Amino acid sequence: MKKILKTIAFGLVALMMVMGIAQPALASRSYYTNSSHKQVHVPVYRTRAPAGSSAECRDGSYSYSQHRQGTCSRHGGVATWL
């Protein structure tokens, strides 16, 4: 069931991009500065956990967060810590 939901979420994001509702992250916005002043990759949608990801968010994205506080905060919270 989890894989089905993840696939549906990925498909919806792709559809939203095609329709112009959602935009893919631009190169300049692919990273953010965390509370330790380090550059961290923004969450991404993948069918499997990408190398270096720290958590799977409830919306099906994967986070590279280096701190637990705030991880997946804009993605429904943490579903699973990796």
Tens digit of pLDDT for each residue in 16-64? 655 555 555 434 468 888 888 998 888 888 889 999 999 999 999 999 9
Tokens of 76: 């429904």
Report the sign of the C-alpha dihedral through residues 29, 33, 34, 40, in that order: positive
Residue type, 25: A
* Domain residue extents for the chain: 2-81
Contact residues for 34 (Cβ-Cβ < 8 A; gap 6+): 40, 65, 66, 67
* pLDDT of 71 higher than 90: yes
Which tops the pLDDT comparison, 78 or 25? 78
pLDDT for position 9: 72
pLDDT of 76 reads: 94
